[in-house]
Each structure stands twice: as C-alpha cells, then as structure tokens.
Amino acid sequence: MKEIRTRTAPSPTGLAHVGNVYAALFNFAFARKSKGTFILRIENTDVERFVVSAEEVIIDALNWLGLKYNEGPDIGGKYGPYRQSERIDFYNKYSQQLVDQKMAYESEGALWFKVPKGKTHWCDLIRDKIEFDNSEIKDFVIRRSNGFPSYNFAVVIDDWLMKISHVIRAEEHISNTPRQIMLYRALGAEVPEFAHLPLLRNPDHSKISKRRNPVAISWYQDHGYLPEALINFLCLLGWSHPEGKDVFPIEEFIKNFSFERISKSAPIFDFKKLNWLNGLYIRQKTDEDLFKLLKPFVPKEMEDDLVKKTIPLVKDRLTILSDYFSLVDFFIKEPEIDKKLLFKKTAQDIKLIKEQFNIVLEKIDENKKWQVKVLEKTFREIAVDKNYHLGKFFMAVRIALTGKIATPPLFETIEVLGKEKT
C-alpha cells in the first residue's frame, strides 16, 4: 500500500479558525491511524488578505491542541517548501506545461484552463459517488494577472508534488473538486482520494462564521477552555464513537476513526455541550495541575497560597478557567453588599438580620477552633437555639460575606477567609 499522506492547508489571514482545526483533526487522526504523515502547508498566495503574524498563530493553535504535524514550514520536510509563496517556480512550470499542451490559454493577462467536454466524477469517502457535467463548468483561471496561481491550481500542484494521498476537507470544497480532478488528469498526475466533511452549523442551522461566532482558537484559549476538551468536542461533531461514548481522549478517536462513521449532515456546534465537557475535564485535573492552568486567570495581587486554598472550593463550579476569579474575588477585595438583595433573598427585616449577626460574632469569639466542622456546628446550633429559618440564615451570612447568592461552600469559604475578615 502507498503511504498515507494528509495535510491541513490554512490561509494566513489573521486567525486560526475552528473550522480549519476541525478539518485538521480528521486529517491528523486518519494519518496517525494509518501510520502515515500529516503535513502543514501555508496557502499564502492571496496577497490582499495575507497577515504577517498569522502563520505563527496557526502553528501555535495546532501545537496547543496537540495536532503535531510531521512536515511543515517551521520544521521542513522532503517535499518542501511548505509556503505557497516559496513555490511560485512550480506553478509557473506546470502552468506553462498546460499552455504547451494547448490545455490553457492567456486572456486579459491571466492564464485560463480549457474545460474539456464530458463528465467528471469521483467516489467520495463520505458521500459516495459525486458527478458533475463539465458543460456546467466554465473555463477557469489558473494563474492570475499578478503572477500568483489561483487556489484550484496551486492546491493541485502542491498536493501532487507533496504526494498527498487523501484530501479531507469541508463540503464547501465539493464544487472545486471537479476542476481539480480535471487539472490532475491534464497534468498526468495521480488523483488523490477525496472526503468532504460536513460544515459546522449553529443551532439555527446557519453556517459557523467569524461574524456571528467565536471562531478563533485563541478565543477558546483566552477564555480558559482546555485543549483536550475542545478536541473531544470537535471529535463528536459529525463522527460517532462505536460505543456511543461522549468522553474520550484523542488516542481513542484515532483508534476508532473511520470514514464510515462520519455523518453527511451538518453537526451543531453546541456550546452547552462544549462547556459541559470542559467542566468535566477541569474536574479530572489534580489541584496542583489546576493551579498551573489557572495562572493566566489569577490577578497579580492574589497570593499563590490563597489560590491553592480556594481551588478545592471552586473546582466543581468551574466551567471555564476564566470563571475562576468571579467565584473568588471577595477573598481579596471588600465585597459590595446590595442591601435590597440581602432583604429580598432572606425575606427578613433589618432588626432580625442584625440580631443574627451579633449572635454569630459572639459565638465566633467563643469558638477558638476555626475549622469547617466546628463552624458549621456553631451556625447550626445558633439556628436551632434561636429558631431561625436555616436557609434564610445561611443566605444572609453568604451575601454579607461575599456579596453573592451563589458561592463556594459556605463554611469552607469562612474557613479560608479567616476569623479576622469574617
């Protein structure tokens, strides 16, 4: 069998797009399962949209997600260079070949490919047989008037010379495929296998786009999503685990990967499911690992010791890492107490609330052991002794100490706050 070689070929236009990463994941998994080669190629011949720093952004995103490529612009390989801007000589050579073969012609400064008569078809690995009548396709540009190749031409030359065996990409490229197959045949090149993945959709079935959605991988990093959670989530979009699992590592995805398990219908990018998965992966972390992961989300004035004490309190409440500070901010800054909220949530008058707090303060002064069990026992004894409504009493204490109605466990919070602050 020939070597399996797949690729991801993003354009450096400013961000690493979640749609590109989704396709890269499937290319990566198929190459790994087949003990093949996964390649990163940068398609940077669109000079109008090119962003200088975007290549670095793409590389950082793939590395963060663990999608390690075997060949690429930063590590090289035997079929380089891996930037289209450095491959112009190849495009010129083969476009001239087509001119010499009378299969291409010049018009208005550009080179155009002559579409042959007949039909073009292929057996798609996800969608079975797809066929186009060539009469529906007009002659198309292979080299623009600025000297740069068109997308359809460059991608064929690159995939051919880089010996790409399987082109796995989004379904929006289906309409490009007949043009590319025509070019392969005109050049006498072997046509690779094609697999067109379903497009990611919003819950209203509209296409995921940067105008409407957070599509940059950096956005997920900045908000505290874990790479393994995002990868697990992307695996579930359009692919189903043979055992019906929702939670599994990428190694399991690779092991069970097959084109037969990929759906033709567009999967829904469901943030609720992503958040659920992310919270699950956060809870699987040790407190020590979580301490390291939280570093970018902790304010400078918060000491490491306090962070370590609060992690067990909030671990079960974290959905994304950026939620952390909003759950613990009252530990380092005086909370603002909304009195209307206090009265509304406790349904008690000011005299009763003052009485409760005076009694608590007296009991706390008597209580020498500042520990969760002792604190909880003390508060419960007060409630029973004074016939206080337990829920309203505890809520009053919670709001007074934190300014919030939802917090980490109350008595653990009081213990970490310490006697003086409380």
346-350: which pairs have CB atoms within 8 A and are 24 or more residues apart?
A: 346/392, 346/393, 346/395, 346/396, 346/399, 347/392, 348/392, 348/396
Contact 67, 106 (CB under 8 A): no
Q: How far apart are CA 150 and CA 157, in angstroms?
A: 11
- What distances in angstroms separate CA 49 from CA 14, 295, 393, 405, one per listed residue? 8, 35, 61, 48
Q: 38 forms bridges with which residues in the sheet?
A: 6
Residue with tokens 């186009």: 132
CA–CA separation, 246 vs 355, rounded Å? 51
Active site residues: 210
CA distance 253 to 232: 8
Other C-beta atoms closer than 10 Å to the C-beta of 187 total 16
Residues 258-293 as b/e (b if ≥16 CB within 10 A, e otherwise) read ebeebeeebbbbeeeebbbbbbebbeebeeeebeee
